[in-house]
Amino acid sequence: MDISAPPAAGWWREAVVYQIYPRSFADSDGDGVGDLAGVISRVPYLASLGVDAVWLSPFYPSAFADGGYDVDDYRDVDPRLGTLADFGEMTARLHANGIRVILDIVPNHTSSRHAWFRAALAAPPGSPARDRYIFRDGRGPDGMQPPSDWPSVFGGPAWTRVRDGQWYLHLFSEQQPDLNWQNREVRDDFLTTLRFWSDRGADGFRVDVAHGLAKNLAEPFEPLDGQAVLASTLNGTHPFWDRDEVHGIYAEWRQVFNEYDPPRAGVAEAWVHPSRRWRYASPDGLGQAFNFDLLEANWDAAEFRRVITDSLADARRDGAPTTWVLSNHDVVRHASRYGLRTGDHLSSTQNAKAWLLSDGASAELDRGLGLRRARAATVLMLALPGSAYLYQGEELGLHEVADLAPEVLQDPAFARSGGAERGRDGCRVPLPWSSGGPAFGFSAAATPHLPQPAWFGPASVEAQERDSGSTLALYRQALSWRRRFRAAERLEWMPGTSDDVLHFSRPGGWQCVTNFGPRAVPLPPGTVVVASSPVADGLLPADTSAWIQG
């Protein structure tokens, strides 16, 4: 399908979106860092996978202090990753294959190398250049203490002092100064950026830390008093997360999105209470918001059922289709989460993180079990109404690379937490394309920017293309059936044969059944068209999902 012709306005409502982490996807020039020309070379792969869109994590000029989420210039491409011409060619090739393009916009903070921040440092306190950021005097004698007790998400204080004694706010690393969204120039500049990329063919935007832009900057600053740094409140009163004023910003963005035909799509990365998600996903706002509830659920039939039921009820009430995601560049890969055996409930992201802290190479991980469950979870997720986000490498069933040596870790969370957090590098290791050779086909360089483990060889695309039972083959098969089945946003629960079984039907006569339990259960009547593990004798084995037609 060529989408140069005007596509349907609601294309994103049921889309399968594949997240590309560009530095780790494919390297065309042998410098060990993935690039846009690498993406171009893999367009046939993306087309053969059968995804509707790709979302590219940031590829803008950056020092990569936070993997590119520290942006020096929002309207250019980092020279190590390519050029604007490469972006144009990549977008054209993807569009010619029916794949839409979603970019990552990082509005909460720039990098400390951004021209605005340099100007702010060169300008005196109280100047217009400083007003684009959040500079304040410190507390205590000589202003030696930070203006508030706010912690950085990556550990340590959220304030850093500059030479003349003032402090600036950074909710993430000190290389990521927060912008002041009460400043009109900041707002206008982002509208320019949205038009810049929309004019160059971007179909939508993933909005980084969408719930953080509006802050209560009245002084004295509200104390956090040790509240969890990631927790937002239920009534919009947290000093910096999920405040009601943030929606005024997205109302302006929506007007820009609607200048285009079809309107540009938006998806909020907002870690907020589910009851407040709809405001980000409203048609007057970004239109869609990530729902991380499935990603945070344990491998447990009751938990999955509750998340699915609640999310679909929210979607019906709010008129915005829900989104699903099991893995992304910020969390432990789901094949590893579901393989953590100690205790009953280790598969949620928080617990998996705790496992990573204690011992990356722990024997607690049962790789086979984790992969089996991950395949079942994905087949279940792809059967749900709404759109699904996949993260590069999950189609290969990759596990977290949990035993990276401390000296290669890049995530600022590692250093800022004094090593207490290992961070997110284990899911960002460059993809294995071939079974052997330098960097398993990722790059001509022998040493990619993060080292790949030996087990990447048998997990590579090349190895899996030879195996009809591979995870890659399963993803291709499931995505192709999903296209055929795609229908109204409806799901009907069927009585499960046991508490460990979830079973639902979708319009058009197809059903999905998942066995979370340890014993095989009878399969419902009909033809099995997709199964996450082999089925035989009318039985659905443990930790398996199947799609049934008829």
Tokens 């250049």 locate to 129
Among 330, 394, 400, 421, binds ligand GLC (CB under 6 A): 330
Lateral strand order in the sheet of 501-506: 492-493, 501-506, 510-515, 544-549, 527-531
CA dist 234 and 21 (Å) reads 32
Lateral strand order in the sheet of 16-20: 265-268, 204-207, 100-105, 53-56, 16-20, 387-391, 323-325
Which of 52, 70, 203, 208 is an active site residue?
208
CB atoms near residue 243 (< 10 Å): 19
Residues 6+ apart with CB under 8 A from 457: 432, 435, 436, 440, 463
Q: Which is nearer to ligand GLC, 269 or 314 (CB)?
A: 269
259 catalytic? Reply is: yes
Q: Which is nearer to ligand GLC, 19 or 464 (CB)?
A: 19
Q: Which is nearer to ligand GLC, 69 or 87 (CB)?
A: 69
CA dist 148 and 150 (Å) reads 5
Least distance (Å) between residue 229 CB and ligand GLC: 13
How many chain residues bind ligand GLC (CB under 6 A)?
A: 9
Among 26, 43, 46, 106, binds ligand GLC (CB under 6 A): 106
Examine residue 69 and tell whether it contacts ligand GLC (CB under 6 A).
Answer: yes
Least distance (Å) between residue 278 CB and ligand GLC: 20
Tokens 């930790």 locate to 543
Q: Which is nearer to ligand GLC, 102 or 523 (CB)?
A: 102
Binding mask 156-195 for ligand GLC (x = CB under 6 A): ----------------x-----------------------
Tokens 């729902």 locate to 291
The answer to whether the beta carbons of residues 342 and 364 sit under 8 Å apart is yes
Question: What share of residues in the chain are helix, strand, coil (percent, to 5)?
Answer: 30, 15, 55
208 catalytic? Reply is: yes
Examine residue 391 and tell whether it contacts ligand GLC (CB under 6 A).
Answer: no
Residues 6+ apart with CB under 8 A from 16: 50, 51, 52, 53, 382, 387, 388, 389, 390, 479, 482
Which of 219, 259, 359, 499 is an active site residue?
259
Q: Which is nearer to ligand GLC, 213 or 530 (CB)?
A: 213
Least distance (Å) between residue 73 CB and ligand GLC: 16
Residue number of the CB closest to ligand GLC reads: 69
Least distance (Å) between residue 155 CB and ligand GLC: 13
Cα diameter, the chain: 78
Among 35, 52, 66, 242, binds ligand GLC (CB under 6 A): 66
Binding mask 258-277 for ligand GLC (x = CB under 6 A): -----------x--------
Least distance (Å) between residue 361 CB and ligand GLC: 24
Q: Which is nearer to ligand GLC, 107 or 432 (CB)?
A: 107
Least distance (Å) between residue 154 CB and ligand GLC: 8
Examine residue 205 and tell whether it contacts ligand GLC (CB under 6 A).
Answer: no
Examine residue 414 and tell whether it contacts ligand GLC (CB under 6 A).
Answer: no
Least distance (Å) between residue 396 CB and ligand GLC: 21
Q: Which is nearer to ligand GLC, 107 or 385 (CB)?
A: 107
String of b and e for 313-331 (b: at least 16 CB within 10 Å)?
ebbeebebbbbbbbbbbbb
Q: What are phi and psi of 27, to 5 degrees?
A: -110, 120
Q: Which two tokens stand for residue 326?
A: 């099991």
Torsion angle of alpha carbons 459, 462, 466, 470, nearest 10°? 30
Length of the chain: 550
Least distance (Å) between residue 176 CB and ligand GLC: 6
First vs last C-alpha separation in the chain: 28
CA dist 160 and 146 (Å) reads 8
CA dist 526 and 507 (Å) reads 15
Least distance (Å) between residue 46 CB and ligand GLC: 21
Examine residue 209 and tell whether it contacts ligand GLC (CB under 6 A).
Answer: yes
Q: Which is nearer to ligand GLC, 66 or 543 (CB)?
A: 66
Q: Which is nearer to ligand GLC, 100 or 329 (CB)?
A: 329
Active-site positions? 208, 259
For binding to ligand GLC (CB under 6 A), which residues are involved? Answer: 66, 69, 106, 172, 208-209, 269, 329-330
